[in-house]
A and B are shown apart, each in its own frame.
Chain A
């Protein structure tokens, strides 16, 4: 089956790093994505990684992919209050995106 799992909630102090984890089951996924959703809004693409890569860094964001364990993580450095949102990982399966359950990140001062 196609299951993408995430922890439900993460709380961090402003300025610390946040690490959001995701596990997926489809080893044939070509791309894996991270999206951010603020309350009442659509999804904003943050970053993506191709399945033959181990790591990708984009400013404050670092994506790590462990294909053997089917584990994906998103690290946000110097987390700010504006980073508070729900973060979804997604795997691309042929034409479709399969979304994770979402992780609510709360940043406190």
Chain B
């Protein structure tokens, strides 16, 4: 149980285009999903916290107009990188938190974004 999927696994896009990444909790409901960014050989940095049906809460330094987050249902959150630039190239990982028990976060497999 507690499986989280991400789509796509990897994406290459041209500079200036927008890219949407989906995060789904497959076998549980998640009122809260989190989006992280990981640079090579570095730790995960939280970008934003997404609650179903409300606006996302962004961490300091993360541009909300550039990284659009939508959490329309209890099993789906999307991250759209708008007007992507090469410095946005990174590994993006989402996690979903269960609504019961220890509130453990379960992580998706990640999406590698390369912007040319």
Contacts and interface: CB of A to CB of B under 8 A. Distances in A.
A88 B108 CA distance: 15
A10 B110 CA distance: 25
Contacts of A77: none
Contact of A101 (B43, B107, B110, B112): B43
B26 interface: no
Given A40-B112, A96-B49, A45 B43 contact: no
B44 interface: yes
Interface stretch (B11-19, B68-76, B80-88, B98-106): B98-106
Nearest to B44: A99
Contacts of B106: 45
User: Majority SS of interface residues in chain B?
Assistant: strand
- Most B CB within 10 A of own CB, among A33, A43, A44, A96: A43
Interface residues of A, number: 20
A101 B44 CA distance: 8
Contacts of B95: 43, 97
Interface of A: 31, 33, 35, 40-45, 48, 50, 88, 92, 95-97, 99-102
Interface of B: 4, 6, 32, 34, 42-44, 46, 49, 93, 95, 102-110, 112
